[in-house]
Amino acid sequence: MTVYSSGVELPRPSFFTLRQKSIARSLMLSLGAIALSLRLAGFPHIEDMRGSRWQIIPLAICLGGMAEMIRCLNRRWNLYHAGVLLLLYANLMILAMIVFLLVYP
């Protein structure tokens, strides 16, 4: 909580509070991981793409984003739960792409 001189307390967004669940945080981790992975592979120059052992860092970041997304699942099924499952499948595709870029010769 942030307290201003007027005595008003404003809550911090859940994006910055690690104890609270946040879909936005998990999406940013996953998208940042795929962007970093493509950059490490040398993406803008397709003819010079190569595998790199530094791809393990984006892999760990993506796994962290996936763990954060799993925390957002509800116990009962509803449309929110279905949306989180779709995002988990998208996160799984990002993870597969990072692993492919890791082993790409």
Both tokens of 99, joined, read 């692993």
The predicted model scores a pTM of: 0.77
Q: What is the mean pLDDT of residues 62-74?
A: 91
**Total structural domains within the chain:** 1
Per-residue pLDDT for 17 more than 90? no
Per the domain annotation, does 7 fall within a domain?
A: no
Confidence of residue 5 (pLDDT cuts 50, 70, 90): low
1 in a structural domain = no
Residue 3 lies in a domain: no
Range of the domain at 86: 18-103
Q: Is the Cβ–Cβ distance between 30 and 62 less than 8 Å?
A: yes
Please state, in angstroms and rounded to a whole number, the distance separating the CA atoms of residues 102 and 60.
12
Domain annotation covers residue 69: yes
Does the residue 93 lie in any domain? Answer: yes
Determine, yes or no, domain membership for 12.
Answer: no
